[in-house]
């Protein structure tokens, strides 16, 4: 009857071990375990903390989502137990995370400072003392990073130098006003409430975190007040997180996010405080109602393009929302656009008069490869940018936009770095016009991104949205929509045609986070992606026990000629539907059982004593080899036909020869779903 805490904790631990992605079912499952075992909350909390501490950095975030889900959905006593060590749990993980995951953690922390949305309880998820300490430390880390960055030499063109084995050896703190007092460089500062604690060694050793850039470093000392950029970034991240993945607005915001993150790049001058505020105003205008910033935890949806943005709003459909559900930013902006006063007469190709954020970012994101100009298609990202005209000198930036201004204008007014193409000597940036009021044209963006690390534009995994103000229309382009024939001649194949690349990328903006496969954002594309994700899920599901898995014999010539390859994302084809329609009463011969991986279970049918060898097929839908005409009853495998006969009370049938089994196969069953006979085993 009574289970011990240790047993419950062990179960919980086992379930945690399998959590490698933000898998909704797994996180719900873990939450349920926690909910049903509140009397063992202490043991479970301990196990969860230990897991977060010890698991690989890339598996920590999913575990933190479990923590999040438990404290929000179950609450006490977990908030108490987990709250005690939250500082350590959070900071230890934070130190080894990459920037993307850190942003996600920032998002989590933010929601912990607020009450659980829609709940009667108005208290924040965690007590303010708990979250405040974390927040203070995060600010310190950012400060340190900024200072450390200033002392780092500029990266030369090409490969950056390898980080040295011991970052301490380089003395990155030499010039910092506030060197860490005896702590390893990135060790978590002590929990202020646990001062007796000696700084715990980072479980991954101090060099590891050194490799990651911190989320919001600011290379320039003259930037806006510390924290302002971060808070705008947080707002953007939050808004993004509240949008459905398919929302076009989200795409543009992702680009904006990248732009903000790019503040860390060496030759991008900082945004002014004014500009940040303007962006913020825009973002707030776009933020829906007074709805809670981070709504009640909805377990993250697996396989969204960006794992760190996977906390969708509570009411939003978990995945694959209808395309039209949300307005796109471009449209919103277009509507809100009074009369765009974007001063870019000097860059006609890059800036069509009706600019929106999407346009700007899209154009920016395909920098030049060479100096050849191919401006044939003004509404596609030009393959290479025309020589940049001398910057239009504008002594002051435009006044901070009022809320009715749009992001496009705002972005157009952002500062311009001096030069982007040549690597800059370390001293130069300090001499730059730091306010960046030199020009108001967005070509600084073009320049900045040209030949520069591009985490920027690309950032959004589904990259550029098409230039059209009705992006959806353009995105449908697929294999069939070949407006431009490329001639098959040596000369023709040498011409750059960067605009065509959109067919491989932008036209299929919906990326599978697991394998990178792309899908169109059309209803069909969404269906395909859904089937594809199901397939991943099934495969993951059945990879658990792999003992005995072996290479199979190849199929023979005849089978191969008849074989039809099957794309896991395609709709069940006509043949298959015929099959299911033709066999409504479940033809026993269509029943199958996965070939047992345990060889000792590969025994003949207990009824007719025939082996199953001749019934082995590759079953597409099962994505596995199966025994056809087989059922498993109480752990034993029978021919489905034998079992049926047996059930009817008929006498044991004469052993079926392989040929008779195959001979009875209906012609229309030559479909992928029925697989092909594999002469195996």
Q: Does 583 bind Zn ion (CB under 5 A)?
A: no
Q: Which of residues 117-136 bind other proteins (CB under 8 A)?
A: none
Nearest approach in angstroms of CB 389 to other proteins is 21
Q: Which of residues 515-534 bind Zn ion (CB under 5 A)?
A: 515, 517
Please give the full DSSP string across 271-332, using - where no structure is assigned. PPHHHHHHHHHHHHHHS-TT--SS-S--PPPTT-S-GGG----TTS-SS---GGGS--HHHH
Nearest approach in angstroms of CB 475 to other proteins is 14
Binding mask 13-42 for other proteins (x = CB under 8 A): ------------------------------
Q: Does 642 bind Zn ion (CB under 5 A)?
A: yes
Among 51, 450, 508, 639, contact with Zn ion (rule: CB under 5 A): 639
Q: Which of residues 173-232 bind other proteins (CB under 8 A)?
A: 204, 207-208, 211-213
Q: Does 513 bind other proteins (CB under 8 A)?
A: yes
Q: Which of residues 496-515 bind Zn ion (CB under 5 A)?
A: 512, 514-515
Cβ closest to other proteins, residue 244 vs residue 513? 513
Contact 592, 619 (CB under 8 A): yes
Q: Does 419 bind other proteins (CB under 8 A)?
A: no
Task: Determine the Cα–Cα distance for residues 32 and 69; give it in Å rounded to an integer.
Answer: 10
Among 198, 335, 338, 504, contact with other proteins (rule: CB under 8 A): 504
Q: Does 553 bind other proteins (CB under 8 A)?
A: yes
Q: Does 321 bind other proteins (CB under 8 A)?
A: no
From 120-128, 508-516, 581-589, 630-638, span contacting other proteins (CB under 8 A): 508-516
Q: Which does 503 bind (CB under 5 to 8 A by kind): other proteins, Zn ion, none?
A: other proteins
Q: Does 547 bind other proteins (CB under 8 A)?
A: yes
Contact 372, 263 (CB under 8 A): no
Nearest approach in angstroms of CB 125 to Zn ion is 33
Distance of CA 109 to the CA centre of its chain: 19
Report DSSP state, residue 364: H
Cβ closest to Zn ion, residue 24 vs residue 517? 517
Contact 509, 465 (CB under 8 A): yes
Cβ closest to other proteins, residue 307 vs residue 401? 307
Among 149, 200, 455, 578, contact with other proteins (rule: CB under 8 A): 455
Q: Which does 605 bind (CB under 5 to 8 A by kind): other proteins, Zn ion, none?
A: Zn ion
Q: Which of residues 50-89 bind other proteins (CB under 8 A)?
A: 56-58
Contact 355, 408 (CB under 8 A): yes
Q: Which does 12 bind (CB under 5 to 8 A by kind): Zn ion, other proteins, none?
A: none
Among 215, 295, 305, 442, contact with other proteins (rule: CB under 8 A): 305
Say how many Å lie between the first and final Cα of the chain, rounded.
46
Nearest approach in angstroms of CB 201 to other proteins is 14
Helix (H) or strand (E) holding 625: strand 624-628
Among 550, 585, 634, 648, contact with other proteins (rule: CB under 8 A): 550
Contact 163, 211 (CB under 8 A): yes
Whether a cis peptide bond, with omega within 30° of 0, leads into 77 is yes
Task: Determine the Cα–Cα distance for residues 575 and 23; give it in Å rounded to an integer.
Answer: 33
Q: Which does 608 bind (CB under 5 to 8 A by kind): Zn ion, other proteins, none?
A: Zn ion
Helix (H) or strand (E) holding 637: strand 636-639
Task: Determine the Cα–Cα distance for residues 469 and 474; give it in Å rounded to an integer.
Answer: 9
Q: Is 131 exposed, middle or buried (0-12, 13-18, 19+ CB in 10 A)?
A: buried
Q: Which does 547 bind (CB under 5 to 8 A by kind): Zn ion, other proteins, none?
A: other proteins
Q: Which does 642 bind (CB under 5 to 8 A by kind): other proteins, Zn ion, none?
A: Zn ion
Q: Does 376 bind other proteins (CB under 8 A)?
A: no
Q: Collect all residues with Cβ–Cβ distance below 8 Å to 79 and sequence separation of at least 6.
A: 71, 125, 126
Q: Which of residues 568-597 bind other proteins (CB under 8 A)?
A: 568-569, 595, 597
Nearest approach in angstroms of CB 273 to other proteins is 26
* Angle at CA of residue 597, ends 593 and 603, nearest 5°: 70
Beta strand pairing status for 592-594 and 624-628?
Answer: antiparallel
| Residue-wise burial string across 94-112, b where 16 or more C-beta atoms lie within 10 A, e elsewhere | bbbbbbbbbbbbbbbbbbb
Task: Determine the Cα–Cα distance for residues 134 and 306; give it in Å rounded to an integer.
Answer: 25
Indicate the SS3 state at residue 632.
strand
Cβ closest to Zn ion, residue 132 vs residue 636? 636
Q: Does 459 bind other proteins (CB under 8 A)?
A: yes
Q: Does 478 bind other proteins (CB under 8 A)?
A: yes
Indicate the SS3 state at residue 348.
coil
Beta strand pairing status for 518-519 and 510-511?
Answer: antiparallel
Cβ closest to Zn ion, residue 94 vs residue 612? 612
Number of residues that bind Zn ion (CB under 5 A): 9
CB atoms within 10 A of CB 526: 19
Q: Does 608 bind Zn ion (CB under 5 A)?
A: yes
Binding stretches for Zn ion (CB under 5 A): 512, 514-515, 517, 605, 607-608, 639, 642
């Amino acid at each position: 009857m009574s289970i011990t805490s240790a047993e419950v904790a062990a179960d919980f631990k086992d379930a945690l071990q399998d959590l490698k992605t933000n898998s909704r079912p797994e996180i719900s499952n873990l939450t349920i375990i926690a909910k049903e075992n509140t009397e063992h909350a202490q043991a479970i909390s301990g196990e969860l903390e230990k897991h977060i501490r010890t698991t690989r950095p890339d598996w920590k975030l999913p575990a933190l989502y479990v923590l999040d889900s438990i404290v929000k959905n179950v609450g006490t006593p977990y908030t108490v137990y987990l709250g005690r060590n939250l500082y350590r749990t959070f900071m230890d993980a934070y130190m080894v995370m990459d920037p993307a995951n850190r942003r996600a953690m920032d998002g989590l922390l933010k929601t912990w400072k607020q009450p659980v949305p829609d709940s009667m309880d108005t208290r924040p998820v965690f007590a303010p003392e708990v979250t405040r300490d974390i927040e203070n430390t995060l600010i310190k880390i950012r400060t340190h990073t900024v200072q450390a960055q200033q002392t780092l030499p500029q990266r030369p063109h090409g490969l950056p130098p390898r980080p040295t084995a011991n970052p301490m050896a380089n003395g990155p703190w030499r010039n910092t006003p506030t060197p860490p007092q005896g702590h390893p460089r990135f060790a978590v500062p002590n929990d202020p409430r646990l001062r007796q604690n000696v700084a715990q060694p980072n479980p991954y050793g101090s060099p590891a975190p050194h490799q990651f850039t911190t989320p919001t470093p600011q290379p320039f000392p003259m930037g806006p007040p510390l924290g302002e950029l971060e808070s705008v970034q947080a707002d953007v991240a939050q808004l993004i997180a509240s949008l459905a993945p398919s929302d076009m607005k989200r795409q543009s915001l992702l680009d904006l996010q990248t732009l903000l993150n790019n503040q860390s790049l060496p030759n991008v001058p900082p945004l002014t405080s004014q500009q940040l505020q303007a962006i913020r105003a825009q973002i707030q205008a776009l933020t829906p109602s007074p709805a809670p910033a981070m709504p009640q935890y909805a377990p993250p949806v697996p396989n969204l393009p960006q794992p760190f943005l996977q906390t969708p709003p509570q009411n939003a459909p978990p995945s694959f929302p209808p395309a039209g559900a949300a307005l796109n930013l471009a449209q919103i902006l277009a509507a809100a656009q009074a009369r765009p006063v974007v001063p870019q007469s000097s860059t006609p190709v890059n800036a069509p008069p009706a600019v929106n954020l999407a346009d700007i970012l899209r154009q920016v994101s395909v920098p030049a490869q060479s100096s050849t100009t191919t401006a044939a298609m003004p509404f596609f990202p030009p393959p290479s940018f025309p020589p940049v005209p001398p910057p239009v000198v504008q002594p002051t930036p435009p006044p901070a936009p009022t809320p009715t201004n749009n992001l496009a204008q705002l972005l157009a007014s952002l500062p311009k770095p001096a030069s982007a193409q040549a690597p800059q000597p370390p001293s130069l940036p300090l001499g730059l016009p730091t306010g960046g009021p030199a020009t108001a044209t967005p070509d600084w963006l073009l320049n900045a991104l040209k030949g520069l690390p591009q985490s920027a534009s690309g950032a959004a995994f589904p990259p550029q949205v098409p230039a059209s103000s009705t992006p959806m229309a353009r995105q449908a382009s697929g294999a069939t929509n070949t407006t431009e024939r490329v001639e098959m001649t040596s000369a023709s194949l040498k011409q750059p045609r960067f605009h065509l690349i959109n067919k491989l990328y932008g036209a299929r903006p919906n990326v599978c986070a697991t394998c990178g496969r792309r899908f169109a954002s059309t209803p069909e594309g969404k269906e395909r992606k859904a089937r594809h994700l199901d397939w991943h899920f099934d495969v993951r599901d059945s990879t658990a026990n792999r003992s005995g898995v072996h290479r199979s014999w190849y199929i023979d010539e005849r089978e191969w000629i008849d074989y039809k390859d099957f794309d896991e994302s395609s709709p069940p084809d006509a043949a298959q539907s015929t099959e299911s329609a033709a066999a409504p009463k479940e033809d026993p011969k269509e029943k199958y059982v996965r070939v047992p991986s345990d060889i000792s279970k590969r025994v003949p049918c207990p009824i007719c004593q025939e082996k199953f060898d001749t019934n082995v097929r590759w079953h597409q839908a099962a994505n596995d080899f199966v025994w056809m005409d087989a059922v498993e009853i109480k752990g034993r495998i029978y021919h489905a036909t034998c079992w049926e006969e047996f059930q009817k009370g008929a006498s044991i049938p004469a052993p079926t020869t392989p040929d008779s089994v195959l001979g009875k196969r209906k012609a229309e069953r030559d479909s992928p779903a029925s697989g092909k006979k594999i002469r195996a085993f």
